[in-house]
Amino acid sequence: MNFENGYIYHVFNQGNNGQIIFFNRENKLYFLRKLKQFISPHCKVLAWCLMPNHFHLMIYVTNVEAVEKEKSRTLNHSIGVFLRGYTRAINIQEARTGSLFKAHTKAECLNCSTSTELSFIDKGKELGLTRSISDREYPQVCFNYIHQNPVKAKMVIKAEDYEFSSAKDYLGLREGKLIDKKLAEEYLSLI
């Protein structure tokens, strides 16, 4: 993943072979705490959604390289440490071994001038959607896609009914501390 400061990225990964990565509510809360710990020094989270077998993040990169616990780390390295740590915890909990996530976490730049193909995860499969959209529309399309994931999976009727996404925060139903709502609204209001 090649991150650059000042750009918005859709970061996502799924369970190896489509397997479950969140076994209970506490797993999701733990994932979010670790996300804040390892990712926040590098970026602002604009949107997120944790599905049973995959996750989506929309981030605005502020520091490709940042100091975490007195160590200088790149965002790539921090993502790796974060996901490996989560995997270790799940492996202990579930008395399992091996990879939890697919080998490569994907990151697509949403506001780069060459963005024309949407490649999102849908029900454990990668789905390529080629659309004629402008660079200004791309972040909004991704933002909506992330929040509509639980609806599309028929887990809830409305996005705001799903506990583990930032949709509730944007609708004022929760005061989550993970997202930078002001930055997202500022950026997305341009669309």
Closest Cα partner for 142 from 99, 103, 106, 92?
106
**What does the DSSP 8-state code read for residue 162?**
-
Higher per-residue pLDDT: 68 or 188: 188
Would you say residue 64 lies in a domain?
yes
| Global pTM value | 0.86
Whether 75 shows a pLDDT value over 60: the answer reads yes
Confidence band for 188, pLDDT divided at 50, 70 and 90: confident
**pLDDT of 113:** 67
Confirm whether 86 is domain-assigned. Answer: yes
* pLDDT surpasses 50 at 190: no
Say if 3 falls within a structural domain: no
The pLDDT value recorded for residue 136 is: 66
Q: Is residue 30 a part of any domain in this protein? A: yes
| Residue 146 identity (one-letter amino acid) | I
Least reliable range by pLDDT among 118-127, 135-144, 166-175: 118-127
* pLDDT (average), residues 2-11: 94
Tokens describing residue 47 = 């949107």
1 within domain boundaries: no
pLDDT at 66: 77
For residue 106, give both structure tokens: 């994907």
Residues paired with residue 122 on neighbouring β-strands, in sequence order: 125
Q: For position 123, what pLDDT does the model report?
A: 40
pLDDT of amino acid 134: 58
Helix axes 181-188, 138-152, angle to 10 degrees: 120
Whether 129 shows a pLDDT value over 90: the answer reads no
Q: In terms of Cα–Cα distance, which of 54, 42, 50, 41 is closest to 15?
A: 54
Cβ neighbour number for residue 35 with a 10 Å cutoff: 21
pLDDT of residue 94: 97
How many whole angstroms separate alpha carbon 30 and alpha carbon 6? 28
38: domain CATH number is 3.30.70.1290
Total number of domains constituting the chain: 1
Does an H or E element contain 139, and which? helix 138-152
Q: Letter for the amino acid at 102?
A: K
Domain residues for 28?
8-188
Residue 83 lies in a domain: yes
Q: What is the pLDDT of residue 2?
A: 87
Confidence band for 98, pLDDT divided at 50, 70 and 90: very high
For 129-148, what is the mean pLDDT? 76
Rounded to 5 degrees, φ, ψ at 55 are: -140, 155
183 CB burial (10 A radius; 0-12, 13-18, 19+): middle
Token pair in block for residue 1 = 């993943």
pLDDT tens digit sequence for 10-36: 999 999 999 999 999 999 999 999 999
